A and B are shown apart, each in its own frame.
Chain A
Amino acid sequence: QQNVQQSPESLIVPEGARTSLNCTFSDSASQYFWWYRQHSGKAPKALMSIFSNGEKEEGRFTIHLNKASLHFSLHIRDSQPSDSALYLCAVSMGNTGKLTFGDGTVLTVKP
């Protein structure tokens, strides 16, 4: 069964900092990789996804995937207080749409 681990568990950074969040997975046959963001008391919402090795940038957010290392990451440039949330990584095998989530990283951006 897929095992997804996130690090760190929590992170406090100053406004304007670059933030890096990590996710490792166990099944090398995994096909789709997602980052979701969940503000306190709200529903999770998809932030970014990547389907092949490499890097993808959308605004202040960049996702890196290295399938051989069973690792992907999210980098946030110029972190804002509004980025404070629970960040969840998720992995899918692809055939059923089932997502396996990590336990999340709580990010706090201090003004």
Chain B
Amino acid sequence: EAAVTQSPRSKVAVTGGKVTLSCHQTNNHDYMYWYRQDTGHGLRLIHYSYVADSTEKGDIPDGYKASRPSQENFSLILELASLSQTAVYFCASSDNNYAEQFFGPGTRLTVL
């Protein structure tokens, strides 16, 4: 079974502060993704990457940056956290552009 881990698992941040969410995969997958999920809703793609040192904007990139320093690691950065960014954030990885995406356990972020 593919393994994707996220840290921290939960975080409380203050409005205007900087937040970094980390994702690590041991699957040797090229593709990695960051999604957010708001209560009772589906997933929306924030950023993704298909190769180290390169990231692409997803459907809702405003207010977020991403970094892919290696094949295994993919970070999501909120430079100035806002109340509207309170959500659960999921990282995922896949072997190619049509393969199953394997999700991490999620990070619950609360911005106060």
Which A residues form the contact surface with B (CB < 8 A)?
1, 4, 6, 31-32, 34, 42-46, 49, 51, 88, 90, 92, 94-104, 106
- Indicate whether B101 reaches chain A with its CB closer than 8 angstroms: yes
Q: Are B59 and A96 in contact (CB under 8 A)?
A: no
- Indicate whether B71 reaches chain A with its CB closer than 8 angstroms: no
Q: Are B50 and A97 in contact (CB under 8 A)?
A: yes
Given contacts A96-B56, A98-B58, A45 and B94 within 8 Å (CB-CB):
no
| Segment with Cβ contacts to A, from B12-20, B38-46, B61-69 | B38-46
Which of these, B48, B96, B104, contacts A98 with CB under 8 Å? B48
Given contacts A51-B98, A95-B97, A100 and B45 within 8 Å (CB-CB):
yes
CA distance A51 to B94 in the complex (A): 17
Given contacts A43-B90, A103-B42, A104-B41, A97 and B48 within 8 Å (CB-CB):
yes
